[in-house]
Amino acid sequence: MNTEFIGIIFMYAATIALAIPLGKYIAKVFKGEKTWLDFMSPLERLIFRFSGIDPKREMNWKQHLKALLTINCLWLFYAFFCLLFQAHLPLNPDGNPNQTPDLAFNTALSFLTNTNLQDYSGETGATYFTQTFVFMFLQFVSAATGIAAMIVVFRAMKDKVTDKLGNYWEFFVKAITRLLLPISIVVAIILAFNGTPTSYKGKATLMSLQGDTLHVSRGPAAGMIAIKQIGTNGGGWFGANSAHPLEDPNYLTNIVENIGIILIPIALVFALGYYLNRKKLSWVIFGVMTFGFLVMQFTSINAEIGGNPAIAHMGVSQPGGAMEGKEVRFGPAASAYWGICTTVTSNGSVNAMHDSMQPMSGMAQMFDMMINSFYGGVGVGYLNFYIFIIIAVFISGLMVGRTPEFMGRKIEAREMKIASLIALLHPFIILVGTALASYILVHFPNINWAEKPSAWLNNPGYHGFSEMLYQFTSSAANNGSGYEGLADNSIFWNVSAGIVIFLGRFLPIIGPVAIAGILANKKFIPESAGTLKTDTTTFGIMILAVIFIVAALSFFPSLALGPIAEHFSLK
């Protein structure tokens, strides 16, 4: 167990050690300063010339959003029709069938939005073509979309008064060529040399020691697994995700993938400080995020190494902790650490089954996604946190009797209305979805939606409710992990989760970009003796209080019906 703790400490320390210089590098890239990857410039110019784009044409916030939403609509149709007809496309050596329209709808939206919720199994539900040219493609562009939106907000905060917020396409392309692609190549090489498949051949036929014939799925998996972690995507090549030994062959790959999950989200926080030349503000934000992250980590790790209370009451010793659903190579502590890293971001990959974890671990994982701003996904993590900053500034200004100001701009009714709507949207779509599923399950258990509601849950009672709550929470947070006791590949779950995925992705991007664009047009007010300092520990505590109050008031009743009730039922 001590070895597990050392491994956890090493992974987090290594992440921070890499994130700080990476944040400085990211700031240089998007400020247009020289970096060691400037040799990518000819490729970028070729892309812009081929696309007919002038990367130096300045855009306002509305034009940024128009570009973002338009290209995402095109990618959605491309992905949907590829999945609908994948059996007739090349690179399908195993003869996998087309996806049904409802599954294709869910899958296309899921990968478009950086969610990667998989209601199919990768070995049988997708082909090499769709895995590579749809899923992996979307994993790059969805991550770059979030980063580009975040840079727009950075630009709005940087200049005193402006409606010129850079060029969306320049931010988008550089996010791929200067950040996502280089790191993914390094990670993919490490995975490939440690046993992750890179072949385009079909299933391998092997003979086991017992004389059984086995058919082992493979494919060009290393590249997709690299970007799934680096871009906080999380969608696995195999159905078992990183719990599959070919996706996560050994402890070295487990470390590399785990670092990859939270590296860029943390680095982007430091990039904010370097980009705006306000390092104290970035450290305050990092401190708030890290406090929330560590609280959830301690909760989950303590639950998993303590074992199952129900088994302990039977007099059965659990010296290794709660091992159900865990990978014995890594152990319960390392699995709990991964579980929080993947839910505190919008990653969603797993190296152990969340459905098998203790109720308090499940609660911590769900609470991470309900808050959705402790590190968060690439780019969108800060956008979600930005909403809480605006609310905290407004409340703090009212408390001290001053007009609320942030970065030299007054926070007024229009910005607060947008921030409040975005803050309330997240719990609304989660709780309404869960309530609807619960109502249908109770009142219409035998209605025929490809799968009857009575067959949705393998675990009734508190845990069954948690399975449904987790599914909508994961969808709204664009996370993509799930409690696999839920039979989710049905018309109801594919369509309802798909709608929640869409709303949970684009409205929280539109809101912060709109707020930042509106504030950037306002008269700049220089700091004075009465200005509320936003780069202090006191303000950090205020943000933390706002986050927990909003989340607790919104989600505590549902958590009490699910994981909390289940926890006390085991006592």
For residue 67, is it within any domain? yes
Categorize the per-residue pLDDT at 262 as very low, low, confident or very high, splitting at 50, 70 and 90: very high
For residue 201, is it within any domain? yes
Which range marks the domain in which residue 91 is found? 19-277
**What integer pLDDT is reported at residue 551 of this predicted model?**
85
DSSP annotation of 564: I
Q: Is the pLDDT of residue 159 over 80?
A: no
Domain identity same for 26 and 169: yes
Last residue of a domain, one of 261, 277, 293: 277
For residue 460, is it within any domain? yes
Give 223-251 as a DSSP string: HHHHHHHHTT----SSTTGGGSTTTS-SH
Q: Is the pLDDT of residue 28 over 80?
A: yes
pLDDT tens-digit map of 184-202: 999 999 999 999 999 898 8
Q: Which residue bears the tokens 């986050």?
A: 547
For residue 135, is it within any domain? yes
Domain identity same for 268 and 395: no
Domain identity same for 268 and 387: no
Domain identity same for 186 and 39: yes
Last residue of a domain, one of 235, 250, 277: 277
For residue 95, is it within any domain? yes
pLDDT tens-digit map of 81-117: 999 999 999 999 999 999 999 999 999 999 999 999 9
Domain identity same for 46 and 183: yes
For residue 104, is it within any domain? yes
Domain identity same for 386 and 264: no
**Closest C-alpha among 322, 324, 352 to residue 338:** 352
For residue 306, is it within any domain? no
Q: At residue 550, what are phi and psi to the nearest 5 degrees?
A: -60, -45
Last residue of a domain, one of 252, 277, 302: 277
Q: At residue 87, what are phi and psi to the nearest 5 degrees?
A: -65, -25
CA separation for the pair 530, 534 (Å, rounded): 12
**What integer pLDDT is reported at residue 392 of this predicted model?**
92
* CA 548, 552, 554, 560 torsion-angle sign: positive
Domain identity same for 112 and 242: yes
pTM for the full model? 0.95
**What integer pLDDT is reported at residue 162 of this predicted model?**
77
Domain identity same for 273 and 386: no
Give the number of C-alpha atoms closer than 13 A to the C-alpha of residue 311, restricted to the C-beta side: 12
Domain identity same for 101 and 248: yes
For residue 308, is it within any domain? no
Tokens in use for 534? Answer: 């936003």
Give 432-495 as a DSSP string: HHHHHHHHHHHH-TT--SSS-GGGSBSS-HHHHHHHHHHHHHHHHTT-----TTB---SHHHHH
Number of domains present in the structure of the chain: 2
